[in-house]
Amino acid sequence: MLLDLLGVVYDGDTPTTGAADTIQRLRDAGLPLRFVSNTTRSPRGKIIAQLAAMGINVADEELLTPARAAVEWLRNHDRQPHLLVHPDLEAEFSGLQGGNRRAVVVGDAGEGFNYANLNRAFRELLAGADFVALAVNRTFKDADGQLSLDTGAFVTALEFASGRSPVVLGKPSPDFFLSALADLDCPAADAVMIGDDAEGDVAGALRAGLGAALLVRTGKYRPGDETRFDPAPTALVDDLAAATEWIFSRAST
Amino acid sequence: MLLDLLGVVYDGDTPTTGAADTIQRLRDAGLPLRFVSNTTRSPRGKIIAQLAAMGINVADEELLTPARAAVEWLRNHDRQPHLLVHPDLEAEFSGLQGGNRRAVVVGDAGEGFNYANLNRAFRELLAGADFVALAVNRTFKDADGQLSLDTGAFVTALEFASGRSPVVLGKPSPDFFLSALADLDCPAADAVMIGDDAEGDVAGALRAGLGAALLVRTGKYRPGDETRFDPAPTALVDDLAAATEWIFSRAST
């Protein structure tokens, strides 16, 4: 079972209703869990500490982030990163030796998405650097409860101006979903994804071959999202608890 | 004859080689001229003063800018603007009464393209404001001689996140080219466009039905641009002087 974090397990700084109990129930039932987050603003340690403070214990190997996937990609391709990411995330990219060739890595830079930084990244792309996107999400539900511009908008801006297409390392990249299952010995067809993003979480997981993907009405969900993207969610449910009910009811039939 | 400004008549702060003499030669030959610029960073008065300082006299009615087209659009549609434009351009939008409905107007905001401003514009779009783009250029040749991100990149970012498509009031909108010819009593088929942007100037003008569009090798031109967009330029020439030669040689045959 793969769970998105923001909008599914927590919303802003608080867990969604019943999230901690539901996750405990899943663990008690012996279901292997992986948390797949496109939140590229926080470092891994902070995410795990934040979850612990909400009463949800997640082991390091259970958490998949695009930053971790990107570090692996940079190592495998022998590239030095040009980072356009949140300052808090920069430390995760330290210690990369890298060759002479560079790769522009774009994450949720937040206020770092200003003209000067975007233009520097654009010029790196024109000069031949590779182009790595940690996510291509259009929007996220901000702390004030409203939707805000997410990484995908800025990745698209760079793509439009440079004529270059990014390698996407977070959701909805099929590789990202499959890497989350890699050490579970679980065929994709037996896995279920739960998310609040009908495009990145749900359609992405189904395209990667997962057996089911449930869309929750929490987080950034807006009425009509369930018909907005292809493939459509296997089911639309209220929240994480309802998603878990859906899974248990299926498992028992 | 329609002439782009930046990259054709001047480059940075200096006129292109022979630009002032060439324009005088066109005037002496009695060719009606219109200057169609997507430079949405400078107010009209500043553009005209800048040209005068280079020895090029341009009358107010000879200069077409997307800002002027936008003011007309806002008046006709009874909209109040939410501006994401360069501070120097804001005065051109003053005095609009407008109704209760709003329109997000995006021009080359330069350093104003920061996260907070872009997110405010995005939220206006989500709330139902109309979406007006003064230009959709991908890049421009910056003061340091390198390409930089232009308005189109940020328009595309807002479009991607909001799912809304803009009304484009500058080049390559056919209406913009045709409005430049409107008071000249010149059929589009008899008009020639000269520009350094193979997409916005050249393909745009040909799509609007202009008889010819010449691509110059000055400004932002990069080798291969002449085959990059459809329709392709009528001819590729060195600069404004060469474009003028091309026109005179055609006129005399």
Region(s) of chain A under CATH 3.40.50.1000: 2-38+171-251, 76-168
Q: Which residues contact B126 (CB under 8 A, 6 or more apart)?
A: A147, B162
Min Cα distance A124 → chain B (Å) is: 11
Q: Region A212-222: what's the mean pLDDT?
A: 96
pLDDT digits (tens, 9 = 90+) for B214-236: 999 999 899 999 999 999 999 99
**Residue A110: predicted pLDDT:** 95
Min Cα distance A99 → chain B (Å) is: 25
Q: Which residues contact B108 (CB under 8 A, 6 or more apart)?
A: B39, B40, B41, B85, B86, B134, B135, B140, B150, B151
How far is B45 from A172, CA to CA, in rounded Å?
49
HSE, side-chain direction, 13 A CA sphere, residue A159:
17
Determine the 3-state secondary structure of A147 from DSSP. strand
pLDDT digits (tens, 9 = 90+) for A116-167: 999 999 999 999 999 999 999 999 888 898 999 999 999 999 999 999 999 9
Query: Which structure tokens are listed for B186?
Result: 């010149």
- Spell out the CATH class of B2-38+171-251: alpha beta
Q: What is the CATH number assigned to the segment(s) B74-168?
A: 3.40.50.1000
Residues of A with Cβ-Cβ distance to B138 under 8 angstroms = 160-161, 163
pLDDT digits (tens, 9 = 90+) for A177-208: 998 898 788 999 999 999 999 999 999 999 99
Residue B197: name the closest of B241, B136, B153, B123 by CA: B136
Residues of A with Cβ-Cβ distance to B122 under 8 angstroms = 147-149, 153
Number of continuous H segments (helices) and E segments (strands) in chain A: 8, 14
Residue B122: name the closest of B167, B155, B89 by CA: B155
A113/B118 touch (CB, cutoff 8 Å), yes or no: yes
B111/A115 touch (CB, cutoff 8 Å), yes or no: yes
Residue count of chain A: 253
Asked if B85 is an interface residue toward chain A (Cβ–Cβ < 8 A), one would say no
Residues of chain B short of pLDDT 50, as ranges, are: none
Q: Which residues contact A45 (CB under 8 A, 6 or more apart)?
A: none
Q: Is A249 exposed, middle or buried (0-12, 13-18, 19+ CB in 10 A)?
A: exposed
Residues of A with Cβ-Cβ distance to B157 under 8 angstroms = 149, 153-154, 156-157
Residue B1 and residue B192 in contact, taking contact as beta carbons nearer than 8 Å: yes
Q: Which residue has the tokens 């300052």?
A: A87
- Pick B157's closest partner by Cβ from A126, A146, A156: A156
**Residue B253: predicted pLDDT:** 56
Residue B206 and residue B229 in contact, taking contact as beta carbons nearer than 8 Å: no
B161/A146 touch (CB, cutoff 8 Å), yes or no: no
- Pick B157's closest partner by Cβ from A112, A148, A157: A157
- Which superfamily does A76-168 belong to? HAD superfamily/HAD-like (3.40.50.1000)
Handedness of CA B152, B40, B158, B98 (dihedral sign): negative
Region(s) of chain B under CATH 3.40.50.1000: 2-38+171-251, 74-168
- pLDDT of A95 strictly over 90: no
**Residue B244: predicted pLDDT:** 96
Handedness of CA A39, A41, A42, A43 (dihedral sign): positive
**Residue A252: predicted pLDDT:** 67
Cβ-based neighbour number of residue B78 at 10 Å: 13
**pLDDT > 70 in chain A, percent:** 99
Q: Is B252 exposed, middle or buried (0-12, 13-18, 19+ CB in 10 A)?
A: exposed
Q: What's the pLDDT band for A13 if we cut at 50, 70, 90?
A: confident
B138/A160 touch (CB, cutoff 8 Å), yes or no: yes
Min Cα distance B55 → chain A (Å) is: 33
**Residue B252: predicted pLDDT:** 67
